[in-house]
């Protein structure tokens, strides 16, 4: 197996992090991998906000959970009501990834960037988790303002980053296999 395939297959969503902050050069490597993602018409419609302020990360958790509490999906409501649950798993760095709304496919392009970031993080020993639950706390305009996202951009996802606090390697959740057909 070559290194790229190994990286793709062995990356896992990490949900337990050490308190220690990751290095600035690691963040730069991860973001650079993001900006080398493909994008429709090469519009590169992404923006990255690196958040390392504990109070702000904690507020993001509280805001999201407040909105999740009464959700119609039972599992979302349950997480919203779980006092111990932290949407970013107490990661020391959270990167908010936003997309330029008037582009062809900002969510798709941002998602490609995020996948590159997760793989890059894994390749340099940094654990990561793509977090969609953060969106619940990113709806109200006055809450979003503090992130200084450029005009015309919308926050889509966050990525939790930190050194892994796991004793052993995680197994991949089972993949569905019946997902391919050929037309010859």
Residue ranges in contact with ligand FMN by CB under 6 A: 12-13, 15, 129-133, 172-173
Q: End-to-end CA distance of the chain: give it in Å, rounded.
A: 27
Q: How far is the CB of 87 from ligand FMN (least distance, A)?
A: 6
**CB nearer to ligand FMN: pick between 42 and 105:** 105
Q: How far is the CB of 132 from ligand FMN (least distance, A)?
A: 3
**CB nearer to ligand FMN: pick between 112 and 129:** 129
Q: How far is the CB of 184 from ligand FMN (least distance, A)?
A: 31
Q: How far is the CB of 156 from ligand FMN (least distance, A)?
A: 9
**CB nearer to ligand FMN: pick between 18 and 135:** 135
Q: How far is the CB of 182 from ligand FMN (least distance, A)?
A: 25
- Cβ–Cβ under 8 Å, residues 77 and 68: yes
**CB nearer to ligand FMN: pick between 28 and 58:** 58
**CB nearer to ligand FMN: pick between 55 and 176:** 176
Residue nearest to ligand FMN (CB): 132
């Amino acid at each position: 197996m070559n290194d790229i395939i190994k990286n793709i297959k062995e990356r896992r969503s990490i949900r337990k992090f050490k308190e220690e902050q990751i290095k600035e050069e690691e963040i730069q490597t991860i973001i650079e991998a993001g900006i080398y993602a493909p994008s429709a018409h090469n519009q590169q419609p992404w923006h990255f906000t690196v958040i390392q302020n504990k109070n702000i990360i904690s507020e993001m958790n509280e805001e999201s959970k407040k909105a999740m509490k009464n959700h119609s999906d039972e599992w979302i409501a349950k997480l919203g009501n779980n006092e111990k649950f932290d949407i970013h798993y107490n990661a020391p760095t959270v990167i908010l990834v936003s997309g330029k709304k008037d582009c062809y496919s900002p969510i798709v392009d941002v998602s490609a960037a995020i996948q590159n970031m997760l793989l890059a993080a894994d390749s340099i020993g940094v654990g990561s988790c793509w977090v969609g639950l953060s969106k619940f706390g990113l709806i109200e305009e006055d809450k979003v303002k503090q992130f200084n996202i450029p005009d015309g951009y919308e926050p889509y996802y966050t990525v939790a980053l930190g050194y892994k606090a796991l004793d052993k390697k995680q197994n991949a959740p089972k993949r569905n296999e019946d997902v391919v057909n050929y037309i010859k």
